[in-house]
Amino acid sequence: MKLGTLKHTVDHKPVAGDFAIIEAPVPACPENGVLVRTVHLSLDPYVGSRLRGRHMGEAAPEPMKGAIPGAIVGQVIESRVPSLKEGDWVQSMEGGWQEVCALTAEHVRKIDPSVAPLAAHAGVLGMPGLTAWSGITQLAKVGAGDTVLVDAAAGPVGGTVGQIARIKGADRVVGIAGGPEKCALVTDTYGFDACIDYKAEGWKDRLAEALPDGLSVFFENVSADMAMLALTHARIYARGVLCGLVDAYHTETQSQHPLNAGLIIGKRAQLSGLVVYDFYPRWDEYIAEAAPWITSGQLKFAEDRAAGLEEAPALFERLMNGKNKGKAVVTVAPESV
Ligand SMILES: NC(=O)c1ccc[n+]([C@@H]2O[C@H](COP(=O)([O-])OP(=O)(O)OC[C@H]3O[C@@H](n4cnc5c(N)ncnc54)[C@H](OP(=O)(O)O)[C@@H]3O)[C@@H](O)[C@H]2O)c1
């Protein structure tokens, strides 16, 4: 089978040439688990940090041996546990860049293929969607009267944040994204009230115009600077969800991300750090709530797709440079065999 690995250790922002697709033996089915045929592979920004040993203390894979980490959606081809049988569809955060994954049962979640397209379980119903739902409904507790600002708004987290905020009753939802195409996706497809292109001249004035009554919630995906800018537009008692600092994932030295304490105090702001791991036990609850939103057309998603494991390095490089428009997904194998 094919397996995607590192050619060498990396201490820079990963590029396609850092990866190798090699032949590896099909693993044995673990005693307390399953063998899964990988169909869709999720590419996520945190993996870039993890390959440099910078993510939550998790180790980088061994070059020319270990699979690149990544969530997968796939089908069970062999099972040694009663809870899962051949043919079941599953999602796992522990799959990785490989055509067949050996997974223990605790790392596998059974999914219902009828509730949404299967690839959605890598994005809007996968870890990015769960992240958005957790921040909006469990931490910021968005409801009527709220004005919500989110950056990286064209991506799977940001795009879902704004749409769930709207579904939960927010009055106004504003995005920030890089470039006119991404902003069009955010307003025309995701239905945000406005999207500000931060690469365009005068964007900070446009942002102020888009928030005439300020904001009550901001959801930070990009940087401490962006979070501080959001705070300048905050009403008092605003809530901020600190989700990601993607702009700093590949800086040479990891900065300390200073926050303006005086501004936070003056705004009486409440800031919550979000780590999606805390919400994994509530994944099925999220899917039960969100799948009908997809069916009804209230929750839309976009995908940046590639086909075949060989295409994963190029798509990963695009993701590392913020060139993806929507969820980066590699379809490793056809859904039906
Ligand atoms: N806390 C958690 O548990 C958790 C879980 C999942 C994801 N996250 C975080 O949530 C954020 C969004 O994740 P996602 O999967 O939805 O990603 P994504 O939006 O598909 O990709 C990241 C986006 O960040 C923007 N960006 C801004 N500065 C960048 C830079 N210097 N390099 C690369 N991209 C840059 C780009 O969009 P623009 O061109 O629009 O700026 C890029 O498309 C990330 O920070 C991620 O790490 C956190």
Mutate to test the pocket of ligand 1, among 157, 163, 197 (most ligand atoms within 8 A of CB): 157
Instruction: State pLDDT tens for residues 36-74.
Output: 999 999 999 999 999 998 888 888 999 999 999 999 999
In a domain, 289, yes or no: no
Residues of the domain holding 134: 127-277
**Residue 40 counted as domain residue:** yes
Question: Do 117 and 146 lie in a common domain?
Answer: no
Segment 183-190 mean pLDDT:
98
pTM, to two decimals: 0.98
pLDDT in tens, 197-218: 999 999 999 999 999 999 999 9
Q: Examine the domain organization and report whether 71 and 143 are in the same domain.
A: no
Closest CA to 73 of 106, 108, 45: 108
Looking at the domain assignment, is residue 35 inside a domain? yes
* Residue 187 pLDDT exceeds 80: yes
Indicate whether residue 71 lines ligand 1 (CB < 6 A): no
Which residue minimizes the CA distance to atom 39 of ligand 1? 178
Answer whether 246 contacts ligand 1 (Cβ < 6 A): yes
Q: What is the CATH number of the domain that holds 76?
A: 3.90.180.10
- Is residue 291 in a domain? no
The residue whose CB lies within 8 Å of the most ligand 1 atoms, and thus the one to mutate among 246, 280, 303, 319, is 246
- HSE (CB half, 13 Å, CA atoms) of 151? 25
Task: Tell which atom from ligand 1 comes closest to the C-alpha of 247.
Answer: 31
Residues 182 and 106 in one domain: no
In a domain, 253, yes or no: yes
Same domain, 135 and 271: yes
Ligand 1 and 183: CB distance under 6 A: no
Helices and strands (H and E) in the chain: how many = 9, 15
Q: Report CA(29)–ligand 1 centroid distance (Å).
A: 35
Ligand 1 centroid to Cα of residue 122, in Å, is: 15
Residue with tokens 């990988």: 38
- Mean pLDDT, to the nearest integer, of 108-114? 98
Residue nearest to atom 44 of ligand 1 (CA): 244
**Which numbered atom of ligand 1 lies nearest the CA of 159?**
16
- Cβ(116) to ligand 1 under 6 A? no
Distance CA 121, CA 138 (A): 21
φ, ψ (nearest 5 deg) of residue 164: -70, -35
Residues 62 and 175 in one domain: no
Residue 77 lies inside a defined structural domain of this protein: yes
Average pLDDT, the chain: 96
276 lines ligand 1 (CB under 6 A): yes
Pick from 125, 83, 131, 133: which is nearest to 108 by CA? 83
Residues 67 and 115 in one domain: yes
- Which of the listed residues 164, 221, 327 should we mutate to test ligand 1's pocket, taking the one with most ligand atoms within 8 A of CB? 221
Same structural domain, 230 and 155 = yes
**Which of residues 262, 277, 292 is at a domain's end?**
277
Same domain, 61 and 87: yes
Count of structural domains, the chain: 2
Q: Could you tell me if 314 and 220 lie in one domain?
A: no
Average pLDDT over residues 272-300: 98
Is the pLDDT score of 91 beyond 90? yes
Query: What is the per-residue pLDDT for 92?
Result: 98
Phi then psi for 52, rounded to 5 degrees?
-100, 10
Say how many Å lie between the CA of residue 46 and the centre of ligand 1.
Answer: 9
